[in-house]
């Protein structure tokens, strides 16, 4: 079945163009003005609306809320003339899903339609996935639906089946510890201890005792014999967090332990056999540190047998709505609030943010929102306190969008002028030297 696309445009000839472009893949439904809108929406299921911004009488901005009131999930693409960029931005803020500038090529129209419908599908899938996960219980508390996240899940299953050392890298808050725990929990060692040592949290003198333990009287203050974390983790998994902060002399000792599978407590010459699977994590670029001689290269290779590189959240935007909804629901349950989710505008705001603190930042923000919200079922965009940071990002986003737009615009002019720069400059109504310098700036040379 072809998706039905409702087109509202006052330009008769453009409606004909729409019809011929859409016909092969879509069921076009054409309206010249707003009068038939209610009937059209009620008449048959519409999958997407293409809405002209400038129309006599009730224009696109007036109709948009009406359409969204009819069905909040129905995607709307605004169609605008070039000089309406500001209006288009306003329309997006009002809930439009995307916009297209006139004149457009058939290709651009079809691509935009595809993208918007794809996104809609993803939202539906997320809802579905959430139900499935809720029924199964979250597997290892790790969630995600983006391609990078699914790759991580698959690798966890593989890593769990072998005893090799694992190195997990990724920015702060990307889930390194969760992944380590998931590997342990899926491995045959699951019912043995999962022991965590944070190499950055302790001074050098203490890490050694922490890792390997000590005999009574081994140093001042060693009042009795103590087992180190390696011994405590025997049979299980030792998670060495922030491995990049391990001092060089301890790196040497660690390497020896990994090779011999035995440790010596401080103050003892007696090796103790340990059966420990080591998983290390760091948010430092370890390869570079190794090249600079700050991290032992041989230890790096010894750890880097199975490698997880966790992508920052901004590089897997598909996960953002999933996490947002998941954490909202989790905290709503915990704090006994009515919140059920987020509005599409609120989700769009989250998806456009760069999340320097990754999943942890998103999680903390959702907790804060749930705590602060009362009497409401859906989180609105204005409930989201993404202050200075997000404002910068929105500006940045608009700047990029404009550069991108300019690039396409100039490319089109050049194509129309058959590559002749003088002619293209005339079409664009700018000086030829301006065009040339613009082309340099935009990498169009």
Binding site for ligand ATP (CB under 6 A): 142-144, 170, 172-178, 283, 359-360, 363
CB of 245 to ligand ATP, least distance (A): 11
Tell me how far, at minimum, the Cβ of 56 lies from Mg ion, in Å.
Answer: 59
Instruction: Choose the one of ligand ATP, Mg ion, none that binds residue 363, judging by a C-beta under 5 to 8 angstroms depending on kind.
Output: ligand ATP
What is the radius of gyration, based on Cα positions, of the chain?
Answer: 29
The item of Mg ion, ligand ATP, none sharing an interface with residue 175, based on CB under 5 to 8 Å by kind, is: ligand ATP
CA–CA dist 93, 252 (Å, integer): 56
Residue 73 or 172 with smaller CB distance to ligand ATP = 172
Q: Is 361 in the site for Mg ion (CB under 5 A)?
A: no
Residue among 18, 63, 17, 13 at smallest CA distance from 40: 63
64 vs 279, which CB is nearer to ligand ATP?
A: 279
Task: For the CB of residue 132, give the shortest distance to Mg ion in the complex, in Å.
Answer: 28
Partner whose binding site includes residue 178, from ligand ATP, Mg ion, none (CB under 5 to 8 Å by kind): ligand ATP
CB of 115 to ligand ATP, least distance (A): 25
Q: Taking CB within 5 to 8 Å according to partner kind, which of ligand ATP, Mg ion, none is near residue 170?
A: ligand ATP
Q: How far apart are CA 188 and CA 193, in angstroms?
A: 12
Which residue's C-beta sits nearest to Mg ion?
177
Q: Which residue minimizes CB distance to ligand ATP?
A: 175
Q: Which residues contact 235 (CB under 8 A, 6 or more apart)?
A: 189, 192, 193, 275, 276
Q: What is the dihedral of CA 320, 321, 323, 325, to 10 degrees?
A: 160
Q: Which is nearer to Mg ion, 245 or 394 (CB)?
A: 245
Size of the site for Mg ion (CB under 5 A): 2
CB of 356 to ligand ATP, least distance (A): 11
Token output for 376: 């409401």
Tokens found for residue 402: 């404009």
Residues 75/97, Cβ–Cβ less than 8 Å: yes
In the complex, minimum distance from the CB of residue 49 to ligand ATP, in angstroms, rounded to a whole number: 34
Minimal distance in Å, beta carbon 336 to ligand ATP? 21
- Judged by beta carbon, residue 315 or residue 440, the one nearer ligand ATP is 315
Closer to ligand ATP by CB, 28 or 175: give it.
175
Nearest distance from C-beta of residue 49 to Mg ion, angstroms = 45
User: Which of ligand ATP, Mg ion, none does residue 144 bind to, with CB < 5 to 8 Å depending on kind?
Assistant: ligand ATP
Residues in region 173-232 near Mg ion by CB under 5 A: 176-177
Tokens found for residue 73: 């999930």
Sign for the pseudo-dihedral over CA of 395, 325, 335, 194: negative
Closest to Mg ion by CB, 142 vs 430, is: 142
**What distance in Å separates the CA atoms of residue 159 and residue 280, rounded to the nearest whole number?**
13
Name which of 34 and 174 has its Cβ closer to ligand ATP: 174
CB nearer to Mg ion: pick between 27 and 177: 177
Q: What is the 3-state secondary structure (H, E, C) of 353-373?
A: CCCCCHHHHHHHHHHHHHHHC
Nearer to ligand ATP, 34 or 363 (CB): 363
d(CA 332, CA 273): 48
Say how far apart CA 374 and CA 372 lie, in whole Å: 7
Cis peptide before 103 (omega within 30 of 0): yes
Torsion 137-143-146-149 (CA) sign: negative
Question: Does residue 406 touch Mg ion according to CB under 5 A?
Answer: no
Pick 142 or 222: Cβ nearer ligand ATP: 142
Whole-angstrom Cα distance, residue 169 to residue 290?
Answer: 14
10 forms part of the interface with Mg ion (CB under 5 A) = no
Collapsing DSSP states into helix, strand and coil, what is residue 310?
Answer: strand
Give min distance, CB of 181 to Mg ion, in A. 10
The neighbouring-strand residues paired with 194 are 237
Task: State the minimum distance, in angstroms, from the CB of residue 255 to ligand ATP.
Answer: 23
Nearer to Mg ion, 29 or 197 (CB): 197
CB of 123 to ligand ATP, least distance (A): 19
Closest CA to 158 of 258, 306, 311, 310: 306
Q: List the single partner that 143 binds among Mg ion, ligand ATP, none, CB under 5 to 8 Å by kind.
A: ligand ATP
Structure token digits, residue 285: 């670029």
* Contact track, Mg ion, 143-182, x by CB under 5 A: ---------------------------------xx-----
Main-chain phi, psi angles of 87, to 5 degrees: -65, -40
Q: Which residues contact 154 (CB under 8 A, 6 or more apart)?
A: none
Three-class SS of residue 159?
Answer: helix
The contact set with Mg ion (CB under 5 A) reads: 176-177
């Amino acid at each position: 079945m072809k998706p039905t696309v409702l087109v509202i445009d006052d330009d008769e000839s453009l409606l004909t163009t729409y019809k011929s472009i859409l016909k092969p893949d879509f069921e076009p439904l054409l309206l010249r003005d707003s009068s038939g809108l209610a009937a059209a929406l009620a008449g048959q299921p519409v999958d997407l609306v293409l809405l002209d911004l400038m129309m006599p009488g009730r224009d696109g901005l007036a109709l948009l809320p009406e359409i969204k009131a009819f069905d909040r999930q129905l995607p709307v693409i605004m169609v605008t003339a070039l000089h309406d960029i500001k209006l288009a931005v306003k329309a997006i803020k009002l809930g439009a899903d995307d916009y297209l500038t006139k004149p457009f090529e058939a290709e651009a129209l079809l691509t935009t339609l595809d993208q918007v419908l794809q996104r809609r599908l993803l939202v539906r899938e997320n809802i579905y996935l959430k139900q499935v996960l809720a029924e199964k219980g979250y597997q290892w508390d790790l969630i995600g639906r983006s391609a990078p996240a699914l790759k991580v899940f698959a690798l966890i299953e593989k890593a769990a089946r072998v005893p090799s050392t694992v190195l997990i890298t990724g920015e702060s808050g990307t889930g390194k510890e969760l992944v380590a725990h998931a590997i342990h929990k899926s491995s045959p060692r699951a019912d043995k201890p999962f022991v965590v040592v944070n190499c950055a949290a302790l001074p050098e003198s203490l890490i050694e005792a922490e890792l390997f333990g000590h005999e009574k009287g081994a140093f001042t203050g060693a009042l009795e014999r103590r087992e180190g974390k390696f011994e405590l983790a025997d049979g299980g998994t030792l998670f060495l967090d922030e491995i990049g902060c391990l001092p060089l002399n301890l790196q040497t000792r660690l390497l020896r332990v990994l090779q011999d599978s035995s440790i010596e407590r401080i103050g003892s010459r007696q090796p103790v056999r340990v059966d420990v699977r080591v998983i290390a994590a760091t948010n430092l670029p370890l390869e570079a540190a190794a090249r600079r001689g700050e991290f032992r290269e041989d230890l790096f290779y010894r750890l880097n047998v199975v490698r997880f590189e966790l992508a920052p959240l901004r590089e897997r935007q598909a996960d953002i709505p999933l996490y947002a909804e998941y954490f909202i629901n989790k905290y709503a349950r915990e704090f006994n609030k009515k919140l059920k989710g987020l509005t599409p505008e609120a989700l769009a705001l989250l998806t456009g943010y760069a999340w320097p603190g990754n999943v942890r930042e998103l999680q903390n923000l959702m907790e804060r929102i749930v705590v602060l919200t009362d009497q409401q079922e859906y989180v609105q965009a204005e409930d989201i306190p993404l202050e200075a940071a997000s404002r910068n990002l929105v500006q940045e986003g608009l700047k990029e969008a404009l550069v991108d737009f300019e690039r396409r615009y100039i490319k089109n002019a050049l194509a129309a002028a058959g590559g002749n720069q003088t002619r293209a400059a005339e079409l664009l109504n700018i000086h030829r030297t301006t065009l040339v310098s613009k082309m340099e700036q935009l990498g169009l040379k």
